[in-house]
Amino acid sequence: MLNEKLRINKKILENDFEKKPIRDGFGEGLVAAGEENKNVVALCADLMESTRTEAFAKKFPERFFEVGVAEQNMATIAAGLGISGKIPFISSYAIFSPGRNYEQIRTTICYNDSNVKIVGAHAGISVGPDGATHQATEDIAVMRALPNMKVVVPCDALEAKKATIAAAKVWGPVYIRLGRAKSAVVTTEETPFRFGKAELLWHPTHGRQITKPDVLIVGCGTLIHNSILAAKELESDKINVSVLNVHTIKPLDEHAILNHAGRAVAVVVVEEHQIAGGLGGAVAELLARALPMPMEFIGIRDTFGESGQPRELIEKYGMGVGDIKEAVRKAMKRKGIV
């Protein structure tokens, strides 16, 4: 039974749950941020409709800049705006920004601690038919390594809206990672979003008595949905699993991760990203230093993607509900619990 204090959209446990592209939440959040602060501006690299900056451009045409297919120029222009009192949001496909303009982001934005928000849309393998050349699966690792950069990976459209509004209020470079495909709306309007603070979305209960979890799942992005489904299904096998939504990967909420991991026997990290350098790497670095324990990783394993439907690719590359359940069992087995 779900602890009623944990605010998730309970429809995700059914087959008729709402699906919405995460990028839609960014578009709504950008307009809201623009309404709240006149210094918010937006730049796009010829992908206004795809990245959902279209609504902002229509409402605030004097604060929108279409730079064309020139992501490197876009980053450099934004860097100047960001040190001049503006709050620029730049958007493109993640494979192009930060993929193509990494050096400009590093040198003109991060080195100057310019107040720029970088929005990478169509990230992850679930871009689908666009194929490997358009599937950014290394972007978290790239951005996490940059000094001054903050990294946020919303789990659904509602959280993307909240994250966008919050990013406009946080000083300095921020990278917001967005998916393309329609995905489950996991959270609700009441679900808390605090920049830099992880949120527990699932905890096993028996009646009103909260049990000690056997395994903690630490996840981000659209795979939070699969993580919650896996945790619920494992209850029938009397395996207790908690799910921690770490939407802010940098700065990492070390306190929350250590607090919840300290109540578990093992940790499984789930992300739609290369296993190397992403959320899994960040959590492993923390636990290796402060709380060594068995870990398993769900993600892309040192390979490129391919064309296919989003759900097919998630399953093929080992990120489905069944894969998460197996990782939980494997982590428990390493601890000597069968």
Per residue in 68-85, pLDDT tens?
A: 999 999 999 999 999 999
Q: Is the pLDDT of residue 146 over 90?
A: yes
Read off the pLDDT of residues 91-132 as tens digits, 9 standing for 90 and up: 999 999 999 999 999 999 999 999 999 999 999 999 999 999
Q: Is the pLDDT of residue 259 over 70?
A: yes
Residue 11 burial class via C-beta count within 10 angstroms: exposed 0-12, middle 13-18, buried 19 and up: middle
Q: Is the pLDDT of residue 2 over 50?
A: no
Percent of the chain beyond pLDDT 70?
95
Euclidean distance between the first and final Cα of the chain, in Å? Answer: 23
Note the pTM of the prediction, 2 decimals.
0.95
pLDDT of residue 206: 45
Q: How long is the chain? A: 338
Q: Is the pLDDT of residue 1 over 50?
A: no
51: amino acid identity, one letter: T
Beta strands at 19-21 and 209-210: parallel, antiparallel or unpaired: unpaired
State how far the Cα of 106 lies from the Cα of 218, in Å rounded to an integer: 28
Confidence bin at 331 (pLDDT 50/70/90):
very high
Q: DSSP string of 229-278?
A: HHHHHHHTTT--EEEEE--EEETT-HHHHHHHHTTSSEEEEEEEEESTTS
Contact 313, 305 (CB under 8 A): yes
pLDDT of residue 4: 46
State how far the Cα of 70 lies from the Cα of 53, in Å rounded to an integer: 16
pLDDT of residue 6: 66
Q: Is the pLDDT of residue 337 over 90?
A: no
Q: For residue 208, how many other CB atoms are within 10 A of its CB?
A: 8
Confidence bin at 139 (pLDDT 50/70/90):
very high
Q: Which domains does the chain have, with CATH numbers?
A: 10-17+190-334 (3.40.50.920), 20-184 (3.40.50.970)
CA-only gyration radius of the chain, Å: 19
Which alpha helices (DSSP H) does 87-132 contain, by range? 102-104
